[in-house]
A and B are shown apart, each in its own frame.
Chain A
Amino acid sequence: MAVLRRLPALLLFAAALATAPAASRAQVAGEYDIKAAFLYNFTKFVEWPPTAFFDEHSALNLCVLGEDPFGRSLPEVLGEEAAGRKLVLLRIGKIADPTVCHVLFISRSERRRLPQILAAVRMFPVLTVGDTPGFLDQGGIVNFTLEGSKVRFEISQAAAERTGLRISSKLLRLATRVAEEGRPGA
């Protein structure tokens, strides 16, 4: 499709989310409700190398490192199956075994320890997701950003490729910024 090539890397304001809270209180989605859903959806656009799992029945572990900002919104998505795997939520305080987590959300509370944490999982197929400006520059793979009140994300293709993760082009297309190999933060 010709249009796909023409899709701009930067997508500007979308009115839908901005107007949604006014429509109905029940549908009011807080920033972290959305981030929780995004976190879950990332698993569907990322392919892990087979070595990341013990066997085909192994669960996909989603780890939240540090202070949990999601509250009750994250447990809602758990238990669902993603690509035939069960999703398991793990709240951890530190990286004991870098092979346990498949998705690692690093809370803002850990921003000072970021370099160490990222260094610990750097060589493993772990999709690191940050919530801190400059996360990608420090070697993270996906980082949440805000455009006004709309939640967006940026991706470091280079970091993902290093760990053997394959990120779908569809996801890349939606990213506000894609840092490519050799040109981190381009």
Chain B
Amino acid sequence: MHILQNLPIRQKLMLIALLTTGGALVMAGAALIYFDVTRFRAEMTEDLGALTEIVANNCTAALAFRDDEAAAETLRALRARQDIVSAAVYDGGGRLVASYGEKGDAFLPAEARAADGHTEPGGLGVFRPVVLKGERIGTVYLRGSRDELMGRIRVHGLTVGVVFLASGLASLLLASGLQRIVSQPILDLSETARAVSERQSYALRATKAGADEMGDLVDAFNSMLEQIQERDSALLKAKGELERRVEERTLELAQRNDELAQSNKELDDFAYIASHDLKEPLRGIHNYSSFLLEDYAGKLDAEGRSKLETLMRLTRRMETLIDSLLHYSRLGRVDLAIDRVDLNEIVAEVLDSLAITLKQEETEVRIPRPLPTVRCDRARVGEIFSNLVVNAMRYNDKPRKWIEIGVIDGEELPVFYVRDNGIGISEKHHDAVFRIFKRLHGRDKFGGGTGAGLTIVKKIVERHQGRIWLESSPGEGTTFFFTLREET
């Protein structure tokens, strides 16, 4: 059945028609042949019985007077009947008295004693008793030819075969014409369905052939198409609206972005120019303070010298602040030198440059597993690690200080981290630490600093399209996390 399932409907219908007519025909033919052959055989047997009766009657005297030759002569008369294959006469004792035709098992005396009128099960043999005045004096056996029977079966078989072929052909022609009534609407519907799905054109409609189940199906299909069409057009409309709005917003955003970039640039330029120009007079103040201290050393008392030294320290500090500002503003203006960089090398370089300080501070640096190679600006990323390590080392009051530098798998990008067991940062300050010149502690506490380090780190990370954040438990330690997007 499996193979039949995959046949086209057209062929299925034809096959059904052919098998039905063919099956019925074969059965009818077989029944016809069976009944005809049975009837014919019964007629033949009856005919044979009558003939045997006559022969038996003609053999009475021959048997009574032991005239075998007379019995043989009687049997020889059967030559006129070509349908008689063989015949035999037995006397009352079962002895074969005379025979005619083919010899065979049929002439066994035991058969002669078989029941009166007995017919051989498979053949056309008939026994009849020879009775003389109520006394059985012998038996006559006649065997009819099966040729006619076989011939009849052959002719019938041939007839049925011819009729089978002819009607098969006729039903094939009929079925091939009539199957269209059933298959055509299905094929039409399937064709429409395919066209709809291929061309996405929901305006198509299947044509209804009649008011039968197929017609209902076509109606249902069409109403489904109608609904889809409605929804499709609504969807298209909504999509157009959405696209238009997205475009509007995008345009708006791009505009804002441009404005923002412009103002950023202006701000950077301003900071650069301002800080550059600020350095000039600052240098003058510092130089003149230095002259005063050297040239008027004899005229100044200890307090005057102390105040001048403070003035010089403040100008130096002012200079570093301006340098930081300059550096920061430059970060926003210069292009990054992106290259493939082995972070292990960078970290090694950073730690190397900080080796003396680390030793002084008795800080242990751990790198649990090798860092990857990423595309980034070598010097800037070195600055990130340098700043974070210095911070970690600086804001630590523990007797055994340690810093861990590592990488973990993020959702999309590797996440680098620098962890310490330092003083920690309370949650409310998590944003403030990145603000420029924002210091959480007194200037002289924890070794001082300009307060621009984390701001610069954040700027570098952002220039790498990355993100920076931190986790911290005050008193236990801080972990800074950051990502770097490779293609910047």
Query: Is A14 a contact partner of B67 (Cβ separation < 8 A)?
Result: yes
Query: Is A14 a contact partner of B64 (Cβ separation < 8 A)?
Result: no
A119 in contact (CB, < 8 A): no
Query: Is B73 a contact partner of A16 (Cβ separation < 8 A)?
Result: no
Query: Is B61 a contact partner of A174 (Cβ separation < 8 A)?
Result: yes
Query: Is A44 a contact partner of B133 (Cβ separation < 8 A)?
Result: yes
- Interface-centre pick from A3, A38, A80, A168 (highest chain B CB count, 10 A): A3
Query: Is A171 a contact partner of B61 (Cβ separation < 8 A)?
Result: yes
User: With A82-B133, A170-B58 in contact, do A34 and B73 touch (Cβ < 8 Å)?
Assistant: no
B308 in contact (CB, < 8 A): no
By a CB distance below 8 angstroms, the chain A residues around B134 are 81, 83
A170 to B132, CA, bound (A): 12
User: With A11-B69, A174-B67 in contact, do A44 and B132 touch (Cβ < 8 Å)?
Assistant: yes
Range of interface residues on B (Cβ < 8 Å): 20 to 34
Residue of A nearest to B98 (CB): A16
The contact of B77 among A1, A13, A15, by CB within 8 Å, is A1
A4 to B60, CA, bound (A): 13
- Interface-centre pick from A13, A17, A41, A173 (highest chain B CB count, 10 A): A41
Query: Is B77 a contact partner of A16 (Cβ separation < 8 A)?
Result: no
The contact of B62 among A12, A13, A83, A174, by CB within 8 Å, is A174
User: With A4-B77, A7-B73, A44-B133 in contact, do A34 and B58 touch (Cβ < 8 Å)?
Assistant: no
Q: Which of B61-87 contact A (CB under 8 A)?
A: 61-62, 64-70, 73-74, 76-78, 80
How many chain A residues touch B (CB < 8 A): the figure is 29
By a CB distance below 8 angstroms, the chain A residues around B68 are 14-16
Query: Is B65 a contact partner of A174 (Cβ separation < 8 A)?
Result: yes
By a CB distance below 8 angstroms, the chain A residues around B58 are 1, 3-4, 170
By a CB distance below 8 angstroms, the chain A residues around B73 are 3, 6-8, 11
Query: Is B133 a contact partner of A16 (Cβ separation < 8 A)?
Result: no
Query: Is A44 a contact partner of B64 (Cβ separation < 8 A)?
Result: yes
A8 to B60, CA, bound (A): 17
User: With A1-B77, A3-B74, A174-B70 in contact, do A16 and B65 touch (Cβ < 8 Å)?
Assistant: no
Given contacts A7-B70, A153-B65, A174-B65, 8 further A-B contacts (CB under 8 A): A1-B54, A3-B73, A7-B73, A12-B69, A14-B68, A81-B134, A170-B60, A170-B61
